[in-house]
Chains A and B, each alone.
Chain A
Amino acid sequence: MSGIQVKGEVLNVKPVGEYFSMTVVAPGIAERSKPGQFVAVAVGGESGGMLLRRAFSIYSVRETGVYGGTVEFIFSVAGHGTAWLAAQRPYDPIDIVGPLGRPFALPREPANCVLVGGGYGAAPLFTLADSLRTRGCRIDAVLGASTGDRLFGALDAKRMAASVAFTTDDGSYGEKGRVSDVLPEVIERVRADVVYACGPMAMLEAVQRVASESYDGAGIPTQLSVEESMACGIGVCMTCVLPIIGNDGQTRMARSCVDGPVFGGDRIRWDALGTVPDDAVGAHQ
């Protein structure tokens, strides 16, 4: 199902650690959204020079309320577009398209799920946790970031999960190290059936390696949300591609905005990220 375009209104923007949270009144998006989907937000105003929408994972939605449906996302100021967003104020108009992309696949039967978030990559894991819980799943979480300020959702995580492990690169919060350092122990301890993760590509690759080597190499499935540079977010421009192995075993350059952003970790050609592998359909023509 495709998204809708809403001329919404900022409800609030507030700092959260090193990040910002923005809540937008955007009726229609909340009702349709599933965990793992994202919104694409126009930045810079109607006649501004920034043409491309910015993609953000949906952190939370509220279907009804005094203001109508709202959508909240968490962002870090990375460049001009996100700086503009951070400077918006309540009642400012904001043009938002969503929900977009393929959501996380959910287990049919109750399962033990480990949720791994890197930095603001934790944002989509909370609605996911809600859905998993209503299916009777056990949830454990691992959150990591470069520094303690950049960990997102520590309190939420403690509330939603049976256990939470934190890691930071500098040791300023939780264990010093990477999420992939503690993940093997968590998987074995909770007898995990599946790993869900969202964060930087290098983190996802490490998570995939750990998951596939778990249980003496038997491995468990993963659902990973990737972040590729996007121009349209709706599947028409072909800029957001990465090499993905299809059901027929063939590698194709798939669009992360409509075929993803969530992929099974075993479908991603980790050896060939950022390239078009020689064996991809239509390579080197």
Chain B
Amino acid sequence: MVDVTVTIRRRVEKPRHVNVDMTTKLGNLTAPDPVFTASGCAAAGQELAAYNDLTAIGGVVTKSIQLNPRAGRATPRMAETPSGMLNSIGLQGPGIEIFINRDLAWLADHNVNAVVSIAGGTVDEYAKLAGKLRGKPVSMIEVNISCPNVEDRGQVFACDKSAAASVVQAVKRAAPASVPIFAKLSPDVTDIVSIAKACMDAGATGLSLINTTLGMVIDTHTMRPLLAGITGGLSGPAIRPLALRCVWQVHQAMPEVPLFGIGGIRTGLDALEFILAGATAVQVGTVIFHDPGAPQRISRELSEALAERGMDAVEQAIGLAHRPPDVIVPELPDPPGDVLEDELYEDAVDEADVFAEDEWLEDQDV
């Protein structure tokens, strides 16, 4: 019988203050943190300020705004679905003038990065909206092109390369010169990479991936569609794998393009998945309805997750999942309580050249 000595290696207490550089660059915007709120899930920030320090996150992407006030669709406007929800709000909003004077002013007064999401029914409307933002305290413009084009039988801009490109081009021309422009794409297309390329060729600074995907629910009591708008946008963890796949594909095709990863992010590890897939930053939406403090929580969890992996800047993680098989990076130390044979562990250390052992591991006698 062989005498085996087993050593239990446990991670030492996680440091309370992790020192990870969370700044991230989105075109010429340097954001203090990679976590932003997603459009339509944070209104214009005011209501969330009670639950988050909005200056500590990347910024607030405001509800898509249009030229004129808009009442939106009839109710019911939402349905909960497995790990997600459907919404059919119909872009209710006060119109760009009130938005600038009330909401944008509030964000500026409170030193919150304002990413203004704009939406229109024609190319010209998008251009006018962008023009109105000249000279205003705007950190970035996000172009929500998941809107029906009234000049083309309601065909959604985001589903057509040339329509998407003409919107981006018009916004680029009209917008304040130094402000980054991100086009927000719909996943409801056969080839997201070709739409992404068209938007970049048209002058976008980066891309936001993804908007909701179309779904529906039928009420089995009334035996009719549950939403007044019949179909609605599906969001939440239910769409996370789909969103992640889009980020992966677009980053693979255009690794230099800054990307927002959006869709079903609920924890810091979810955010990390998107960053590893190639996102420069992330936006969190539906999770806010579950946990109004989610933006700051996710940012904290993300920085802890990065520290645990031996990274000292979020930038180091961007696109890392695409690395070739022979490129080795520090891996996560073994979970607490794992029982390892010494030799196996030594091998792993040699091969990966991970962090100093005493920083993470502590010998425990049994």
| Residues on A facing B (Cβ under 8 Å) | 2-5, 42, 49-53, 95, 97, 228-229, 231-239, 241-242, 252-253, 258, 274-276, 280-285
Instruction: Report the Cα distance A276→B73, complex, angstroms.
Output: 7
Chain B interface extent, by class: 35 or more
* With contact pairs A51-B83, A52-B80, A258-B47 given, residues A274 and B75 touching in the complex (Cβ less than 8 Å): yes
The number of inter-chain residue pairs (CB within 8 angstroms) is: 117
Which of B85-93, B198-206, B307-315 is found at the contact surface with chain A? Answer: B85-93
**Contacting pair B292 A276 (CB below 8 A):** no
B215 within 8 A of A: no
Contacts of B84 in A (CB 8 A): 51
Please judge, given known A-B contacts A53-B289, A229-B78, A283-B71, whether A236 and B51 are in contact too, CB under 8 Å: no
Chain B residues near A2 (CB-CB < 8 A) = 47, 50-51
Q: Given A5-B51, A282-B68, A282-B71, do A234 and B292 touch, yes or no (CB 8 Å)?
A: yes
Please determine whether A231 and B75 come into contact, CB atoms closer than 8 angstroms: no
Check B74–A276 contact: CB distance below 8 A: yes
Within the complex, the shortest CB–CB distance from B287 to chain A, in Å, comes to 7
Question: Would you mind naming 24 contact pairs between A and B with Cβ atoms under 8 Å apart?
Answer: A2-B47, A42-B290, A51-B83, A51-B84, A51-B287, A53-B290, A97-B292, A231-B80, A234-B48, A234-B292, A236-B289, A237-B40, A237-B289, A239-B78, A239-B89, A241-B72, A241-B75, A276-B72, A276-B74, A280-B71, A282-B68, A282-B72, A282-B92, A284-B71
A contact residues around B216 at 8 Å (CB): none
A232 contacts B288, C-beta separation under 8 Å: yes
List B contacts of A4 (CB < 8 A). Answer: 50
Nearest CB in chain A: distance from B341 CB, A: 32
Given A4-B50, A52-B289, A237-B78, 5 other A-B contacts at CB below 8 A? A5-B51, A97-B292, A228-B75, A252-B71, A253-B92
Chain B residues proximal to chain A, CB less than 8 Å: 40-43, 47-48, 50-51, 63, 66, 68-78, 80, 82-85, 87, 89, 92-93, 95, 228, 236-237, 286-293
Q: Complex: how many Å from CA A52 to CA B285?
A: 12
Secondary structure class of chain B's binding surface, majority of residues: loop
Cross-interface CB contact of B50 among A3, A42, A51, A284, cutoff 8 Å: A3
A238–B92 CB distance below 8 A: yes
**Interchain CB contact under 8 A, B72 and A253:** yes
Q: Note all chain B residues with C-beta closer than 8 A to A284.
A: 71
Q: Which of A2, A3, A95, A253 has the most CB of B within 10 A?
A: A253
Cα distance A258–B43 in the bound complex, in angstroms:
13
When the two chains form their complex, are residues B95 and A282 in contact, meaning their CB atoms are under 8 A apart? yes
- Among A50, A228, A238, the residue within 8 A (CB) of B89 is A238
Chain A interface, >50% SS class: loop
Set of chain A residues within 8 Å of B87, measured between Cβ atoms: 231, 237, 239
Query: Once bound together, how far apart are the Cα atoms of A283 and B69, in whole Å?
Result: 8
Chain A residues with CB under 8 Å of B77's CB are 229, 238-239, 241
A247 to B70, CA, bound (A): 19
A229 with B75: CB separation less than 8 A: yes
User: How many angstroms between the C-alpha atoms of A233 and B292 in the bound complex?
Assistant: 10
The chain B residue with its CB closest to the CB of A47 is: B266
CA distance A253 to B237 in the complex (A): 29
Partner of A276, one of B71, B93, B291: B71
Are the C-beta atoms of B76 and A229 separated by less than 8 Å? yes
Please give, as numbers and ranges, the residues of chain B lying within 8 Å of A276 by CB-CB distance: 71-74
Contact A253-B293, Cβ < 8 Å, known A2-B47, A239-B78, A239-B89: no
Find the B residue at minimum CB distance from A95.
B291
Q: How far, in angstroms, from A64 to B66 measured CA to CA in the complex?
A: 48
A5 and B293: CB pair below 8 A?
A: yes
Closest to B74 in A: A275
Given B47, B66, B78, which contacts A285 in the complex, CB threshold below 8 Å?
B66
The 6 closest A-B pairs by CB, nearest first: A282-B69, A2-B50, A282-B71, A239-B78, A232-B289, A282-B70
Q: A282-B68, A282-B69, A285-B68 are in contact. Are A5 and B292 (CB under 8 A)?
A: yes
Q: What are the residues of chain B within 8 A of A50 when measuring CB–CB? A: 80
Residues of B close to A236: CB separation below 8 A: 41-43, 47-48, 288-289
A51 near B289 with CB under 8 A, answer yes
Tell me which residues across on chain B come within 8 A of A95, comparing CB atoms. 291
B73 closest partner in A (C-beta): A276
Q: Report chain B residues within 8 Å CB of A253.
A: 71-72, 92
Please measure, in the bound complex, the distance between the C-alpha atom of A285 and the C-alpha atom of B77, giving whole angstroms: 17
CA A97 to CA B73, docked complex, whole Å: 27
Q: Which residues of chain A are within 8 angstroms of B228 by Cβ–Cβ distance?
A: 274
With both chains docked as a complex, state the minimum distance between the C-beta of A269 and any C-beta of chain B, in angstroms.
12
A282-B97 Cα distance, complex, nearest whole Å: 13
Which residues of B lie under 8 Å from residue A228 when comparing CB positions?
A: 75
Collect the chain B residues with CB atoms within 8 Å of residue A283's CB: 71
The answer to whether B85 and A274 have CB atoms under 8 Å apart is no
Chain A contacts of B82 at CB under 8 A? Answer: 49
Nearest-Cβ distance from residue B228 to partner chain A, whole angstroms: 7
